[in-house]
Amino acid sequence: MSIDILSKDILLEAQNKKQILEDELKEEFFKSEKNLKNELEIFKSNLKTKFNNDLIIEKEKIIGSAKKDANKIILETKNKLLKQVFNETLESLNNLNKYDRELSLKLRLNSASKLMKFQKIICSKKDLTFIKSIVDKNVEVKLEDDIEGLKFIGNSGKEILDFTNLTIIREAYENIEDKLQTILFGI
């Protein structure tokens, strides 16, 4: 064989090996590219899932906070309404006409007489004359400026029976608070 032929064979064999290496490199490149694309898609999918989960959690936090704030406002409003009902009821009782006021005072006096023996009655200036006119002369009637209704002091001086408008309304309110909430708020 001549050197030319041998050189051509070596050259041909080198070209074949080059082609095989190029094909193997291309195949390896395409595999790597495909793997990278798959990993990128998985990464994007995981990132999207995490973002959506974080978004859902944040949305739930915002909704929870808004519900909490709304419930707080509703509760404050209900409490204001209950206080308003209480205050308006008290005001109505404090502003009874003369006939109803005197009837109310007589009923309180009768109730107190059944519950205890008393030596002193405390009342407001506007009720002083009326109370003095209907009680026994042995009972002391005293004036107190900031009172609506009556307080009775027992013979020992230690017992106090509070029939003031505020106490009557407060006790009545405490007794019917649950019913009042049901009526007003459907609770």
* Strand ranges for the chain from DSSP E: 118-123, 140-143, 149-154, 160-164
CB 104 within 8 Å of CB 126: no
pLDDT (0 to 100) of residue 187: 63
pLDDT in tens, 134-163: 988 888 999 888 899 999 998 888 899 999
Please say whether the structural domain 97-185 has been given the CATH code 3.30.2320.30.
yes
Measuring CA to CA, how many Å separate 71 from each of 61, 76, 174, 184? 15, 8, 23, 16
Eight-class DSSP state of 161: E
Per-residue pLDDT tens digits for 120-138? 999 999 998 999 999 888 8
pTM of the model: 0.61
